[in-house]
């Protein structure tokens, strides 16, 4: 099944008369003028993308360069060839045509290789693209949270992962950009559950990779993406709150709900590349691939090794580009297939299983491990009887890892907002180590159900009331703060200057400490900041301004 709402239907495959059309990747020789073009990356990457790569020490390389236009145009002009998609990461295009017409492309001087999705046609078998690599759990006492949000019907799915404490501290996803790659976003531009998002300009745009249009809302054939998005961004006062209601979002349509063919993998790769170039931090995908309408394209259980499918190879590249990729594990737990599907099998994808509101595994949630015996899924969240916004605007109820995945993705956005200096792998590790099966993971729910407040405190010794920081034993007496930041500084340490930075490293305040322990922050707006005590190299503290 190609997207993970738990349901059952049958597809009958009827062969067409005459020669069948094939789908294939056409891979090009090396991109021209690589070194010269890499000198000016702002021509092909957004400023936000450049900042994200710089922040996480991600190199800019030839995969970031656009395809050579003359190569693409030559393919498009070939008789009998239908251009479907392209990939700068794989340096090629995805096409459809009769076998003889595709074979004719091999004679072009810039074509390096043709790879057919009917793998029986490939002389060399599977193609494997090697991706370039970039470079103590704490016991936390539960306490009652006085949150600004009234979660209403969405309380259980938020409460299960203990996300409300982060929301209460002001970590609601602000400053984090999420791409949702899905099947359709019917009425996201109309229904009241996204009014708040539209008023705050949190919907940044999108693209429909099948219809080749920026008008992501013109397609009305499916609302799966609407439901998925709502678990993160939806907001109805006193009734419904998504897990990351202040994150920013791009919406991409890669899934063709009416059919199941390998071209959807190519569309997904194009969407992930677009997300990378726009500076997206997190990708959520509630999709998966194993069986197709035409059985000649089918994968086997043994193909779920994180390397065989192009979409899984693409998720590995996306992760190495500095993004966190969150993917639903699948709804095959009750079926003969049983295991996770691609790209949930990829090594660096954060695959999410499903539970009920009590943390018990949903029977439909797919099992691990991968074909090469790696643990999957990674973690789990509520996916049974989840509250979502329907395309009519009402709050409905649905089942599937389609929803446990975005619930988790939104929570990851809040955590990353609270720990902005952390790398993707460090954030993922914190979430895993906070989970209730961290010491005894299994192939049903992986590391289990995360506790996001524990993940936050697991790295940050800061607590809501009082904390002891680093080796200097300096106390941050109150956090969050109203107007004055109070410090407890031992007599042996005598810093007399401070500076305050925002999450992007911009210095906002600098001055002398008042009586050596007070910092006036009343001019700051609400948000997350860093205090550095000059002269103490280890004294860099995070605080929240109310």
Q: In the predicted model, what is the mean pLDDT of residues 7-31? A: 68
CA angle 282, 330, 456 (to 5 degrees): 40
pLDDT of residue 25: 98
Same domain, 179 and 117: no
In a domain, 439, yes or no: no
pLDDT of residue 142: 29
pLDDT above 90 coverage of the chain, percent: 73
pLDDT of residue 133: 35
In a domain, 311, yes or no: yes
User: Domain boundary residue among 81, 101, 121?
Assistant: 121
pLDDT of residue 4: 58
Cα-trace Rg, the chain:
24
Q: Which residue reads 């919907």 in tokens?
A: 203
Q: SS3 of 128, please?
A: coil
d(CA 300, CA 70): 37
In a domain, 305, yes or no: yes
Question: Residue 527's closest CA among 481, 485, 486, 487?
Answer: 481
Same domain, 80 and 197: no
In a domain, 392, yes or no: yes
Same domain, 212 and 314: yes
Same domain, 178 and 64: no
Same domain, 95 and 188: no
Beta-bridge partner residues of 41:
none
Same domain, 162 and 303: yes
Task: Mark 259-279 as b/e (b = at least 16 C-beta within 10 Å).
Answer: ebbbbbbbbbbbbbbbbbbbb
pLDDT of residue 10: 33
Residue 484 has pLDDT above 80, yes or no: yes
pLDDT digits (tens, 9 = 90+) for 55-111: 888 999 999 999 999 999 999 999 999 999 999 999 999 999 999 999 999 999 999
Same domain, 413 and 504: no
Banded pLDDT at 129 (limits 50, 70, 90): very low
- Report the relative pairing of strands 92-98 and 81-87 from DSSP bridges: antiparallel
Rounded to two decimals, the pTM is: 0.78
In a domain, 80, yes or no: yes
d(CA 332, CA 444): 12
User: Domain boundary residue among 80, 100, 121?
Assistant: 121
In a domain, 136, yes or no: no
Domain count, the chain: 3
DSSP string for residues in 334-363: TSSS-B--BTTTSTT-EEEEEE-TTSPBPT
Same domain, 311 and 415: yes
Residue 346 has pLDDT above 50, yes or no: yes
In a domain, 491, yes or no: yes
User: Domain boundary residue among 71, 101, 121?
Assistant: 121
pLDDT digits (tens, 9 = 90+) for 279-305: 999 999 999 999 999 999 999 999 999
List the helix and strand counts (H, then E) for the chain. Answer: 13, 23
CA 334 to chain centre: 27
The segment with the largest mean pLDDT, out of 136-140, 167-171, 448-452, is 448-452
Residue 338 has pLDDT above 90, yes or no: yes
Residue 76: which CATH number?
A: 3.30.70.80
Give, rounded to a whole angstrom, the gap between the first and last alpha carbons of the chain: 46
Banded pLDDT at 481 (limits 50, 70, 90): confident
For the chain, what's the residue count? 546
pLDDT above 70 coverage of the chain, percent: 84
pLDDT digits (tens, 9 = 90+) for 303-318: 999 999 999 999 999 9
Cα dist. 144→151, 270, 428, 519 in Å?
Answer: 14, 44, 26, 29
Same domain, 99 and 171: no
Same domain, 160 and 112: no
Q: In the predicted model, what is the mean pLDDT of residues 25-50? A: 94
Residue 472 has pLDDT above 60, yes or no: no
Same domain, 540 and 412: no
Q: What's the DSSP call for residue 186?
A: T
Sign of torsion over alpha carbons 410, 415, 417, 423: negative
Beta-bridge partner residues of 25:
94, 115
pLDDT of residue 544: 76
In a domain, 436, yes or no: no
Structure tokens at 19: 């020669």
Residue 127 has pLDDT above 50, yes or no: no
What stretches of 48-172 adopt beta strand conformation (E)?
Answer: 81-87, 92-98, 111-116
pLDDT of residue 489: 63
pLDDT of residue 470: 39
Same domain, 213 and 280: yes
pLDDT digits (tens, 9 = 90+) for 359-396: 999 999 999 999 999 999 999 999 999 999 999 999 99
* Higher pLDDT, residue 530 or 457: 457
d(CA 69, CA 74): 9
Residue 507: which CATH number?
A: 2.60.40
pLDDT of residue 536: 56
Instruction: Give the count of beta carbons closer than 10 Å to the beta carbon of residue 232.
Output: 25
Domain with 73, as residue range(s), is: 21-121
DSSP string for residues in 191-257: SGGGHHHHHTT-EEEEEETTTTBS-TTS--S--HHHHHHHHHH-EETTTEE-S-TTSEEEEEE---T
Average pLDDT taken over every residue of the chain: 87
Residue 302: which CATH number?
A: 3.40.50.200
Instruction: Give the count of beta carbons closer than 10 Å to the beta carbon of residue 23.
Output: 21
d(CA 254, CA 266): 8
Q: What's the DSSP call for residue 64?
A: G
Give me the half-sphere count of Cα atoms (radius 13 Å) on the Cβ side of residue 368. Answer: 31
């Amino acid at each position: 099944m190609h997207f993970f709402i738990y349901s059952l239907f049958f597809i009958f495959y009827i062969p067409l008369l005459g020669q069948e059309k094939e789908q294939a990747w056409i891979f090009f020789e090396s991109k021209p003028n690589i070194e010269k073009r890499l000198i000016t990356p702002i021509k092909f990457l957004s400023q936000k993308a450049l900042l994200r790569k710089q922040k996480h020490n991600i190199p800019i390389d030839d995969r970031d360069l656009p395809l050579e236009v003359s190569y693409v145009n030559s393919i498009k002009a070939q008789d009998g060839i239908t251009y479907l998609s392209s990939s700068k990461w794989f340096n090629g295009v995805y096409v459809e045509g009769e076998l003889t017409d595709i074979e004719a492309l091999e004679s072009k001087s810039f074509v390096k290789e043709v790879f057919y999705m009917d793998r029986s046609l490939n002389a060399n078998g599977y193609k494997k693209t090697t991706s370039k690599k970039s470079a103590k759990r704490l016991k936390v006492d539960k306490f009652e949270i006085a949150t600004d949000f009234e979660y209403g019907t969405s309380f259980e799915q938020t409460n299960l992962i203990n996300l409300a404490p982060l929301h209460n501290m002001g970590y609601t996803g602000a400053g984090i950009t999420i791409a949702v790659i899905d099947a359709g976003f019917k009425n996201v531009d109309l229904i009241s559950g996204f009014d708040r998002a539209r008023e705050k300009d949190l919907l940044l745009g999108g693209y429909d990779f099948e219809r080749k249009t920026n008008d992501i809302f013109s397609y009305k054939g499916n609302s799966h993406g609407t439901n998925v998005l709502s678990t993160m961004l939806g907001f109805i006062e006193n009734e419904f709150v998504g897990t990351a209601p202040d994150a920013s979002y791009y919406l991409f349509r890669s899934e063709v709900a009416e059919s199941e063919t390998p071209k959807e993998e190519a569309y997904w790769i194009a969407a992930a590349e677009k997300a990378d170039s726009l500076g997206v931090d997190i990708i959520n995908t509630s999709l998966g691939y194993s069986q197709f309408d035409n059985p000649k394209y089918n994968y086997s259980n043994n193909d779920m090794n994180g390397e065989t499918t192009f979409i899984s190879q693409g998720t590995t590249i996306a992760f190495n580009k500095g993004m966190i990729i969150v993917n639903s594990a699948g709804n095959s737990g009750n079926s003969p297939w049983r295991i996770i599907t691609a790209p949930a099998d990829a090594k660096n994808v954060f695959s999410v299983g499903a539970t009920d509101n009590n943390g018990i595994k949903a029977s439909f949630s797919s099992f691990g491990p991968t074909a090469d015996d790696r643990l999957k899924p990674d973690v789990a969240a509520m996916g049974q009887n989840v509250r979502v916004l329907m395309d009519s605007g009402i709050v409905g109820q649905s089942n599937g890892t389609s929803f446990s995945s975005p619930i988790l993705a939104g929570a990851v956005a809040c955590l990353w907002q609270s720990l902005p200096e952390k790398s993707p792998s460090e954030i993922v590790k914190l979430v895993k180590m906070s989970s209730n099966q961290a010491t005894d993971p299994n192939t049903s729910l992986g590391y289990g159900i995360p506790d996001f407040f524990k993940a936050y405190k697991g790295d940050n010794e800061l607590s809501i009331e009082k904390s002891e920081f680093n080796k200097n034993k300096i106390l941050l007496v109150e956090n969050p703060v109203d107007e004055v930041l109070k410090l407890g500084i031992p007599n042996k340490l005598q810093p007399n200057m401070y500076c305050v930075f925002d999450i992007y490293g911009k210095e906002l305040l600098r001055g002398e400490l008042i009586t050596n322990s007070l910092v006036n922050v009343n001019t700051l707006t609400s948000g997350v900041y860093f205090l550095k005590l000059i002269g103490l190299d280890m004294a860099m503290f995070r605080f929240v301004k109310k």
